Structures are given as C-alpha cells and as structure tokens.
C-alpha cells in the first residue's frame, strides 16, 4: 500500500503540475515541456560523466542548470522566429549533448533509466525535500504574481502596452517550468513528463470557466491519475508513472471529443 511519504509526494507533485501545467497550456507552448525535460536529461548525463571522473554527483543541480539554459535559449529564439522553431532547435541541441555525454560513460543504464521513465514509488527522503522546496517556491512566486501572469498570458500585447515587462514574465514562467520538471523528473520521468504536465491542464482548460477553476481541476485530475497509477502498480507490477500518464492522456482525448462532438 501507499505510505504516508508516497501520499505527500503525490500531493506535492500535483501542486507543482497544477501551477506549471496551467501556465504552459495558457502560454500555448506545451512542447516546451518536452524540450525542457529532455534538456534536463542532458544535465543528468553530464552529472554522471563528472561522477565517472570522481567529481561530486548532483543530478538535480545539473538537470536544473541545463533545463534553464535550454528554456531560455528557446524563449529568446522565439522572439525572432516561431516559438516551435526555437524549442525544436534547443531540444535537438541538448538531446545531442546527452548522447555525447553518455557515450563517454559505461554501465549507466541503471542510473539514467529512472530519469527517463521515473518511478513514483521509489522516491527517497531527499527527493521529498526537493519536491517540498520546489512546491513552496513555485507557489510563492505564482501567488505573488498571479494577476500579472494572467494578464500577460491572455493579453500579452495589452500587458506590454501597460508597461509590463513581457520578456521578464516569459522568463519567469519558464523558470517555474524548469524547477517543476526537474523536481518531478525522478517521479514521472522525462519521457512521460509531457503527458503529466500538459494533459491535466488541457482537460481543465476544456471544462473550467475561470483560471482559478483550471488550477483546481488540474490539481484534482493530476492527483487522481497519480493515485490510480500508483495503486495499479501494486496490483499488476507495471510502471505507476506510465499508467498515470496514460490515464491523463486518455481522459483528455475523451473530454476533447465529448466537447467537440
């Protein structure tokens, strides 16, 4: 059965996803999640490479560093070209780096596997601390800047005309996303992060009538998917994060077709 630590972890992940997922869906840059999560993998690979030379290994630090660099490159490039082009170039660059780093290290399958696909039920106390700090920081930033974020996301031109620093808020949003993805990557994996971050928020956006309702429904949908995925894992011995991502994705498809039928 799920332990108290597992339940706290699922709640913290749901809080993080509800904020970051909502922001990225409103920003209409969902593919940025995939780019950032895979760039974070390059940071993990670099950390493993350093460890092979005897240096201190800190997956979270380097994952966050690479994720932030990648996201900022994508956001900056989008000012001059289409946002998808900037994201795609950043994605390709850091995935290439990941493969290069790993090619210098042998026997890394076990270390990198967790970060590819994640495991909700194998989080350590250190992981829980990272989740707690990340959730607190993200919630604080979002709470303080909530109205400005909404203004920026729904009317960027109007926000800029009112004197709001649009680029700063874009970078702030991106930073929140980077912190979020790195915090939950060991739980849900870089491959499945896209579904976990985007699908619940996309479902909420289809149904809810206000931004606050979207946040609340995203939290509920995420937590429900994670709980069912974790409980299913105990019964059938399959990946909890994979089941959670599958449920969230199927739910979005069902809601989309029901609404647009």
Q: Are 75 and 174 in contact (CB under 8 A)?
A: yes
- The whole-chain average pLDDT of the chain stands at 87
* Phi and psi based region of residue 74 (left: phi greater than 0; alpha: psi -120 to 50; beta: remaining): alpha
Residue 79 pLDDT greater than 70, yes or no? no
Between 110-114, 218-222, 226-230, 245-249, the lowest mean confidence (pLDDT) is in 110-114
Domain hosting 127: range is 4-188
Q: Between these two residues, 58 and 132, which has the higher pLDDT value? A: 132
User: How much is the average pLDDT of 199-223?
Assistant: 93
- Asked whether residue 251 is domain-assigned, the answer is no
Residue 110 pLDDT: 63
Site of tokens 């912190």: 179
Between 69-73, 82-86, 134-138, 150-154, the lowest mean confidence (pLDDT) is in 82-86
- Asked whether residue 196 is domain-assigned, the answer is no
Tokens for 148, please give them.
Answer: 């400005």
Q: Are 44 and 36 in contact (CB under 8 A)?
A: no
- Asked whether residue 249 is domain-assigned, the answer is no
In this structure, what CATH number is given to the domain that contains residue 173? 1.10.3470.10
- Asked whether residue 102 is domain-assigned, the answer is yes
Q: Which of 86, 38, 18 is nearest to 192 (CA)?
A: 38
- Asked whether residue 210 is domain-assigned, the answer is no
Give residues with Cβ within 8 angstroms of 244, minimum separation 6.
120, 188, 192, 196, 225, 226, 228, 229, 230
- Asked whether residue 228 is domain-assigned, the answer is no
Distance CA(112)–CA(92), nearest Å, equals: 19
Number of structural domains found in the chain = 1
Residue 82 pLDDT: 61
Tokens for 242, please give them.
Answer: 């994979």
Residue 7 pLDDT greater than 80, yes or no? yes
- Asked whether residue 203 is domain-assigned, the answer is no
Residue 80 pLDDT: 58
Could you give the C-alpha distances from 118 to 16, 85, 177, 202, 221, in angstroms and in order? 16, 28, 18, 22, 19
- Asked whether residue 245 is domain-assigned, the answer is no
Distance CA(42)–CA(95), nearest Å, equals: 6
């Amino acid at each position: 059965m799920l332990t108290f630590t597992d339940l706290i972890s699922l709640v913290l992940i749901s809080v993080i996803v509800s904020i970051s997922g909502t922001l990225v869906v409103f920003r209409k840059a969902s593919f940025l999640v995939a780019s950032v999560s895979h760039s974070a993998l390059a940071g993990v690979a670099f950390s493993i490479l350093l460890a092979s030379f005897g240096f201190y290994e800190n997956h979270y630090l380097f994952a966050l560093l690479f994720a932030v660099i990648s996201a900022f490159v994508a956001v900056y490039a989008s000012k001059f070209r289409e946002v998808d082009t900037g994201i795609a170039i950043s994605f390709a660059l850091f995935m290439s780096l990941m493969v290069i780093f790993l090619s210098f290290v042998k026997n890394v399958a076990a270390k990198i596997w967790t970060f590819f696909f994640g495991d909700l039920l194998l989080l350590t106390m250190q992981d829980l601390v990272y989740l707690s700090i990340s959730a607190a920081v993200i919630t604080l930033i979002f709470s303080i800047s909530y109205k400005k974020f909404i203004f920026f996301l729904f009317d960027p031109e109007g926000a800029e005309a009112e004197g709001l620093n649009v680029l700063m808020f874009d970078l702030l949003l991106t930073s929140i996303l980077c912190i979020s993805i790195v915090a939950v990557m060991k739980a849900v994996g870089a491959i499945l992060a896209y579904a976990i971050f985007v699908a619940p928020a996309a479902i909420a956006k289809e149904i809810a009538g206000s931004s606050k309702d979207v946040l609340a429904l995203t939290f509920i949908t995420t937590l429900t998917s994670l709980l069912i995925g974790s409980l299913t894992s105990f019964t059938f011995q399959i990946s909890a994060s994979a089941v959670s991502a599958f449920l969230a994705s199927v739910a979005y498809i069902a809601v989309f077709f029901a609404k647009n039928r």
